[in-house]
């Protein structure tokens, strides 16, 4: 069974004031892994997923970044069993665009129920790998 080349895990209690620091840790990890080109999309995905944890769950989450040979996987685990739904956003509303943004940025994403809540996984394929597949 294949394993990721590298993993980075953060146990979090999500508060909005901490999101910039979490984005910074995400960006630093990607820089260490040579994945700077994925920083903007990755940080946007992490921010949206963790904002959803703050809004819809109890705030406790695990952020897992995994560097695979062909892609970066971003997983956020929380304690809510409610699965997200992508819907057309109301652009005048203050919130409600998170999963729409993730769907636009990620190559794919999925929500998986777990014994204690759910995992949401988003994949960003490395551009050179995506070109090789097309």
Task: Give the C-alpha distances (Å, rounded to integers) separating 101 from 46, 57, 79.
Answer: 11, 19, 22
Q: Domains of the chain: which residue ranges? A: 6-133
What average pLDDT does the structure give for the chain?
90
**Average pLDDT value for residue range 84-106:** 76
pTM assigned to the model: 0.89
Q: Tell me the percentage of the chain whose pLDDT exceeds 90.
A: 75
Question: What is the model's pLDDT at position 89?
Answer: 65
CATH code that applies to domain 6-133: 3.30.565.10
Give pLDDT tens digits for 41-94. Answer: 999 999 999 999 999 889 999 999 999 999 999 999 999 999 987 777 666 656
Mean pLDDT of all residues in 99-116:
94
Q: What is the pLDDT of residue 82?
A: 92
pLDDT band at 99 (very low <50, low <70, confident <90, very high): confident
pLDDT at 23 > cutoff 50? yes
Q: What is the pLDDT of residue 86?
A: 74
pLDDT, greater one: 98 or 57: 57
Residue, of 84 and 33, whose pLDDT is higher: 33
Please name the residue ranges forming H helices in the chain: 19-32, 39-56, 98-105, 127-133
- Please give the torsion angle defined by the CA atoms of residues 79, 80, 84 and 90, in that order, rounded to the nearest 10 degrees: -110
């Amino acid at each position: 069974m294949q394993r990721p080349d590298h993993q980075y895990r953060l146990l979090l209690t999500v508060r909005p004031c901490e999101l910039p620091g979490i984005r910074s840790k995400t960006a630093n990890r990607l820089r260490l892994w040579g994945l700077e080109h994925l920083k903007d999309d990755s940080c946007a995905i992490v921010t949206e997923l963790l904002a959803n944890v703050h809004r819809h769950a109890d705030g406790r989450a695990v952020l897992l970044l995994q560097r695979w040979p062909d892609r970066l996987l971003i997983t956020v685990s929380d304690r809510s069993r409610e699965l997200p739904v992508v819907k057309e956003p109301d652009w005048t509303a203050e919130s409600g665009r998170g999963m729409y943004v993730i769907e636009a940025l990620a190559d794919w994403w999925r929500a998986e129920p777990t014994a204690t809540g759910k995992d949401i996984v988003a994949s960003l394929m490395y551009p050179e790998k995506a070109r090789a597949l097309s």
